[in-house]
Amino acid sequence: MIKKNVTLFLCIFPFLWLMIFVSSANSVELDEATRTVTFDTSNKTITLTPEQVKRGKRLFNNSCAQCHNGGITKTNPNIGLEPESLSLATPARDNIINLVDYMKDPTSYDGQNSIAELHPSIKSAEIFPKMRNLTDEDLLSMAGYILLQPRVAQDKWGGGKIYY
């Protein structure tokens, strides 16, 4: 009888099963290969600590996810935070150094114009208070989280309204 009730409950509320599964999956630590991301344009890499990944996730969710939930860009769905979009920007934003530079002083996708008054950044911290107290270590953690997400979420990261 109990098994039947549990099965019925999970059939009626499948999202609860998904939440339980996802929560337990998030508690598993990512291996070193997954935590290794490109550091700079010379393809030097850096391996993030589990703490940096957790911190990056928390800071991203607090500071960026309102517009970039799941790696999308709500204001321009053609450009997301997936590797292809990041690599095609000028300068390429597919490494820690360039992504941190972007978070400090963002430019348009072609690199021609400052968009600091439109996009949260350290430069525009007066307009976007969530950016005020972020340190370089915070920015590194957020950039690392963004860069490793395609390995964790795969096609869902930057996949747009199909997934989110």
User: Which CATH number characterizes residue 65's domain?
Assistant: 1.10.760.10
pLDDT at 159 (0 to 100)? 83
**What digits encode the pLDDT tens for the residues 49-99?**
999 999 999 999 999 999 999 999 999 988 999 999 999 999 999 999 999
Element (H, E) at 47: strand 45-47
Statement to judge: residues 71 and 26 lie in one domain: no
Statement to judge: residues 20 and 35 lie in one domain: no
Statement to judge: residues 39 and 118 lie in one domain: yes
Residue 8's Cβ-count burial label (10 Å; 0-12, 13-18, 19+) is exposed
Mean pLDDT of 125-151: 96
Statement to judge: residues 47 and 97 lie in one domain: yes
Q: Binding site annotation covers 11? A: no
Statement to judge: residues 36 and 25 lie in one domain: no
3-state helix, strand, coil in the chain (%, to 5): 55, 5, 40
Q: Is the pTM of this model over 0.95?
A: no
Statement to judge: residues 93 and 23 lie in one domain: no
Statement to judge: residues 21 and 75 lie in one domain: no
Rounded-to-integer distance, Cα 18 and Cα 24, Å: 10
Rounded-to-integer distance, Cα 144 and Cα 130, Å: 19
User: Is it the case that residue 9 has pLDDT exceeding 60?
Assistant: no
pLDDT at 20 (0 to 100)? 43
Statement to judge: residues 151 and 101 lie in one domain: yes
Statement to judge: residues 3 and 60 lie in one domain: no
Statement to judge: residues 19 and 56 lie in one domain: no
Statement to judge: residues 87 and 18 lie in one domain: no
User: Is it the case that residue 104 has pLDDT exceeding 60?
Assistant: yes
Rounded-to-integer distance, Cα 86 and Cα 81, Å: 6
Rounded-to-integer distance, Cα 93 and Cα 45, Å: 14
pLDDT at 21 (0 to 100)? 40
Statement to judge: residues 20 and 96 lie in one domain: no
What mean pLDDT value characterizes the chain? 86
Confidence tier at 28 by pLDDT (50, 70, 90): low
User: Is it the case that residue 32 has pLDDT exceeding 90?
Assistant: yes
Residue 52: which domain range? 31-162
pLDDT at 33 (0 to 100)? 96
Q: Binding site annotation covers 119? A: yes
Rounded-to-integer distance, Cα 51 and Cα 29, Å: 10
What letters, b where the CB count within 10 A reaches 16 and e where it falls short, cover 14-41? eeeeeeeeeeeeeeeebeeeebbbbbee
Mean pLDDT of 117-131: 95
Number of domains, the chain: 2
